[in-house]
Amino acid sequence: MAINIKRPNGTEDVLPKDVHKWYTVEKIARDTAESFGFNEIRIPTFENTDLFLRSVGETTDVVQKEMYTVMAKETKFTLRPEGTAGTIRAMLQNGLLNEAMPQRVFYILSCFRHERPQAGRLREFHQFGLEMAGSASPCADAEVILLAKTILDRLGLKNIELYINSIGCPECRAKYHEALRAYFEQSKDELCETCQSRLVKNPMRILDCKSPVCGKIAESAPLILDYLCEECSEHFEKLKGYLTNFGIDYKINPKIVRGLDYYTKTVFEFVTTEIGAQGTVCGGGRYDGLIEQLGGQHVPALGFAMGIERLLITMEKQNAEFMTPKTCDIYFAPMGEAALSKAMLLAKELRDYGYRAEYDMIGRGIKAQMKYANKIEASFTMVLGDNELSEGLAKLKEMETGEEFEIKLDDKFVDNFDSIYIDKMLNSLDDAADALMTEPHGKEN
């Protein structure tokens, strides 16, 4: 019978065979962030709509076209389209900004935007992101960029380029806006309808327009770097020096403005050309006015977000290594009701000890059970029948080598299995080490 109910367009199912890939990204990102002094925060999936109107910006594509908003009685709620606004709201509301500075938090969450689904761009997508509040120094910008690069390096990604820019502070950006308006006014009738409205409210958004016509016009637009005030220019120069000190290669791209209005001064992107048009795998920057804009005191802040789906696509494209999927440690093949009862108890004991244990719950024959054990890649199998129960002794078979071990079915069973399992692991490590020692590492001259 055909299935009539399918997943919504723009969403994806993560199947058990792929979950270990997500674990890889999440673990490396989490461990790296913690090594830099960041702690995890978890925020609601939806927020009051006003939060995003005030932070993300009413002239952005996110607010104008992409937010999922619902009316609950007299209150408007929006599924979060990004993580920064909700995280800053949580830090502000829960008093984190009254504690020792800088405050460092990271998150792993799902976001929602109503976009045209394509590779690397979904309507429900997932991000690893972080925020640092309390430091106005460009060394904080360099630290956050270093953290992002460290994650990408530890994921094994290659051919990722870092692009940086400064979009200045409100004072120098006001002069830049005047120059942009004067420039785009000359081609106003050629701009798309959205950009014509942006020309009045926020002309920098035109630089981020995806329309080929607007993009062509924007190619010769004035550059923000020519309008930076002395403070913003000095901040940017120091950032470049710190990146050089870290040994981080970068390119200056004066057209980067990011897609959200809360950014100030530093903006950056890590980009790959290997996954098509949606090549930005990490984007972020500084937003020194956001906390004040949301009702707090003036506290400088910055951060970034990485799209997990895009990271996975890039890793698969580059044949990066993932964590080994977890498989069954031991499969019990019972024959008869008494053997099944024993298998259930032995499996429970092993699970309490941390092992992954399974047994037949369908009533298969022994041949079918062994076939199933192979499918689930069980490390060991054990057949249990009347003879094994009466003798209190069974054979533990290592599936990879076919080697068998006699093991008593008594109160020492878990300890005995543990000893055999550890020996197997140590032997595997020894074999791997021997292979490395004997493998040629290069040709002799």
Work out the mean pLDDT of the chain and round it to a whole number.
Answer: 91
Neighbouring-strand partners of residue 109: 127
Phi, psi dihedrals of residue 182, rounded to the nearest 5°: -60, -40
Residue 433: which pLDDT band, with cuts at 50, 70 and 90? low
Which residues belong to CATH 3.40.50.800 in the chain? 330-428
How far is the C-alpha of 274 from the C-alpha of 202, rounded, in Å? Answer: 32
In this predicted model, which residue has the larger pLDDT, 310 or 427? 310
Distance (Å) of CA 307 to CA 226, 293, 398: 31, 26, 41
Neighbouring-strand partners of residue 304: 130, 284
Answer whether 57's CB lies under 8 Å from 260's CB.
yes
Superfamily of domain 19-169+229-317: Bira Bifunctional Protein; Domain 2 (3.30.930.10)
Task: Using alpha carbons, select from 131, 128, 109, 110 the residue that is nearest to residue 28.
Answer: 128
Stretch 428-440: mean pLDDT, rounded? 55
Phi, psi dihedrals of residue 225, rounded to the nearest 5°: -65, -20
- Its CATH architecture, for the domain 330-428, is 3-Layer(aba) Sandwich (3.40)
The structure's pTM equals 0.89
Residue 209: which pLDDT band, with cuts at 50, 70 and 90? confident
In this predicted model, which residue has the larger pLDDT, 59 or 116? 116
Is the bond leading into 102 cis (omega within 30 degrees of zero)?
yes
Residue 445: which pLDDT band, with cuts at 50, 70 and 90? very low
Share of the chain above pLDDT 90, in %: 75
pLDDT tens, position by position, 228-269: 999 999 999 999 999 999 999 999 999 887 756 678 999 999
Which residues belong to CATH 3.30.930.10 in the chain? 19-169+229-317
pLDDT tens, position by position, 277-288: 678 999 999 999
Answer whether 301's CB lies under 8 Å from 133's CB.
yes
Strand 357-359 and strand 393-398: pairing? unpaired
Stretch 371-398: mean pLDDT, rounded? 97
pLDDT exceeds cutoff 70 at 353: yes
User: Residue 240, SS3?
Assistant: helix
Neighbouring-strand partners of residue 125: 111
pLDDT exceeds cutoff 50 at 4: yes
